[in-house]
């Protein structure tokens, strides 16, 4: 009799063990000659060496499946026991499998362009309206790179633009004040990484979510760095952020030029960066439009309505300028 410890390095123990340890109970039925106990990320196995080796090989198959698809149940275990495992239909434009095995894919042409640009460039700008999936796809690409061990960490950031309120008047400590600005990033991560695993990754700083001001002075290497809502950066802020890029790192910058919340007399850093960095090798820009919107069907209609309103307002302002010029000329005569 020997003892061996099998570690669950990548797979989430909650998923691997199953509801009420149902998966472990099934494994005990399949391997009656072995005794084992699962706790945390370790499975301790007792028995003959040959039986343990067979058990470990089988568990490794299950771990590989669990890590890739973020799910494991008794049906899947029995499929592996009786053959080569379940047949999984390959999804078109798949990025990763999210929580409960939900396939996360590039759903539109421009989302697919973002995926391609990410593989070919170290800095990608993804620009377009709300709901077009810019940030969601960017985070999915970062999570996939982390799972594949292409990088060591993910860093997500947003400018904390004050929407008519001062941060100092919001309740709680600094984290409590800033979390509402960063919540959309948490929401995307919770779709892709099981909660226990996500908590662990954030506690160990493998995944970091921080406001833009916290990026100053850092050199970010071996990481995917995503700046969301970049239209609300000032010129010095976005320059500071872009120059954090270190060795083995890649950046995705997302923004919506139609939703700039900066004061009228402040130039958006994203607008300026687009002019300055145009045509530099290694930098790509993907422009999303209303056809990429994948939220509720009304969102696209809302965007259309606002576009028409802005176009009418622009025409009215041009007409006013023309009338002003005509009136000025008449008064001169």
> What confidence tens digit (pLDDT) does each residue in 129-172 have?
888 899 999 999 999 999 999 999 999 998 876 444 445 555 55
What percentage of the chain has pLDDT greater than the value 70? 89
CA-wise closest residue to 209 among 250, 157, 254, 255: 157
CA-wise closest residue to 85 among 118, 103, 62: 62
Full-model pTM: 0.81
| Band (215; pLDDT cuts 50, 70, 90) | confident
* pLDDT greater than 50 at residue 302: yes
Instruction: Read off the pLDDT of each residue in 111-128 and give the average, rounded to a whole number.
Output: 96
**Spans of all domains in the chain:** 2-82, 94-294, 296-333
Instruction: Read off the pLDDT of each residue in 106-112 and give the average, rounded to a whole number.
Output: 93
Task: Compute the mean pLDDT over every residue in the chain, rounded to the nearest whole number.
Answer: 86
CATH class of 2-82: alpha beta
* pLDDT greater than 70 at residue 289: yes
What percentage of the chain has pLDDT greater than the value 90? 53
* Cα angle 3, 8, 12; round to 5: 145
pLDDT reported for residue 165: 40
The CATH number for 94-294, chosen from 3.40.47.10, 3.40.50.300, 3.40.190.10, 1.10.3080.10, is 3.40.50.300
Tokens of 134: 């810019």
């Amino acid at each position: 009799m020997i003892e061996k410890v099998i570690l669950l390095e990548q797979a989430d123990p909650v998923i691997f063990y199953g509801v009420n340890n149902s998966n472990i109970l099934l494994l005990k039925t399949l391997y009656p000659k072995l005794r084992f106990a699962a706790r945390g990320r370790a499975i301790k196995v007792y028995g003959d060496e040959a039986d343990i080796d067979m058990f470990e090989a089988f568990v490794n198959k299950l771990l590989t499946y669990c890590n890739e698809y973020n799910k494991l149940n008794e049906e899947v275990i029995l499929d592996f026991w009786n053959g080569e495992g379940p047949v999984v239909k390959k999804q078109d434009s798949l990025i990763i499998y999210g929580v409960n095995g939900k396939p996360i894919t590039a759903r539109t042409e421009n989302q697919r362009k973002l995926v391609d640009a990410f593989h070919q460039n170290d800095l990608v700008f993804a620009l377009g309206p709300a709901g077009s999936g810019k940030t969601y796809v960017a985070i999915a690409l970062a999570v996939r790179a982390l799972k594949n061990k292409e990088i060591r960490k993910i860093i997500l950031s947003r400018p904390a633009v004050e929407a008519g309120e001062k941060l100092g008047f919001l309740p709680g400590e600094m984290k409590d004040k800033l979390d509402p600005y960063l919540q959309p990033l948490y929401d995307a991560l919770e779709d892709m990484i099981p909660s226990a695993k996500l908590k662990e990754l954030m506690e160990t700083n493998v995944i970091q979510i921080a406001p833009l001001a916290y990026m100053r002075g850092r050199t970010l290497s071996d990481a995917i760095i995503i700046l969301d809502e970049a239209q609300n950066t000032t010129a010095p802020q976005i320059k500071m952020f872009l120059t954090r890029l270190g060795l083995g790192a890649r950046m995705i910058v997302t923004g919506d030029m139609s939703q700039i919340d900066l004061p009228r007399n402040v130039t958006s850093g994203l607008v300026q960066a687009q002019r300055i960095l145009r045509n530099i090798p290694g930098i790509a820009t993907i422009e999303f439009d209303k056809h990429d919107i994948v939220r509720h069907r009304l969102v696209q209609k809302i965007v259309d309505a606002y576009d028409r309103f802005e176009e009418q307002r622009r025409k009215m302002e041009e007409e006013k300028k023309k009338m002003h010029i005509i009136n000025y000329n008449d008064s001169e005569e």
